[in-house]
Amino acid sequence: MHFYPTERIALFIDGANLYATAKSLGFDIDYKRLLGLFRQKGHLIRALYYTALAEEQEYSSIRPLIDWLDYNGFSMVTKPTKEFTDATGRRKVKGNMDIELTVDAMRLADNLDHIVIFSGDGDFRSLVAALQQKGKRVSVISTLQTQPPMVADELRRQADQFIDLADLEDQIGRSQNARAPRESGRSYQGPGRGQVQSPRDSTYFGDDDLAEEEV
């Protein structure tokens, strides 16, 4: 992947989409390593992580990850999920963050040179085009290594640079040794997971802490 050392960079992470992509590739994201990688590529201005939360639940297994990210260099953008019943009577949960990500990207664009979007959602093609019209470089990170591919063809073609997440596994993947957080400090209690460290600690929460409720 190509970045200029003088570029002002921001990461826009569609949390649910990135989780699904990494899971399909069979590895976990180490968000500390991810942040470090892009800090080496240029001037990292902001790293934003977007996810929806089911607020009515007393405990959400994604909460420790969100707290860790919030204390360790990421800007969290969340909103409550919405439940609805479809035409067949099935209960569904909706928590799309596309609008929030798009608005933030356009709002911050004037202070950036290079926008990195972690998503394969084809709905972002118009956002990429609009950012390019403002003179910004846009990279999209997803994968072609699954069947079907996780990235929409129109989004991949629109981007200035497409980066396959599979090619980043060695740089941002979580080692097996990091899978069991040590017990220390203020704890969070998750279903069947025991106690884990305070979000201020250097221990990393990986995306296997995400619940299947991610939408």
CA–CA separation, 49 and 11 (whole Å): 8
pLDDT grade for 175, boundaries at 50, 70 and 90: confident
79: how many CB neighbours lie within 10 A of its CB? 15
pLDDT grade for 111, boundaries at 50, 70 and 90: very high
Q: Tell me what pLDDT residue 35 has.
A: 97
In terms of pLDDT, which residue wins out, 10 or 209? 10
> What is the mean pLDDT of the segment spanning 170-176?
88
Q: How many CA atoms are closer than 13 Å to the CA of 65, on its beta-carbon side?
A: 23
What DSSP assignment string belongs to 130-188? Answer: HHHHTT-EEEEEE-SSSSS-SS-HHHHHHSSEEEEGGGGHHHHBPPGGGSSPPP-SS-E
> Range with the lowest mean pLDDT among 8-12, 48-52, 55-59, 111-115?
55-59
Task: For domain 8-209, give the CATH number.
Answer: 3.40.50.1010
Burial class (CB in 10 A: 0-12, 13-18, 19+), 158: buried
CA distances to 28, 55, 158, 177, 192 from 49, rounded to whole Å, are 16, 18, 22, 25, 26
Would you say the pTM of this structure is higher than 0.95?
A: no
Q: Tell me what pLDDT residue 57 has.
A: 53
Q: Tokens 């990421």 identify what position? A: 74
Cβ(61)–Cβ(55) below 8 Å: no
Q: Tell me what pLDDT residue 1 has.
A: 82
In terms of pLDDT, which residue wins out, 96 or 128? 128
User: For the chain, which residues make up each domain, given as ranges?
Assistant: 8-209
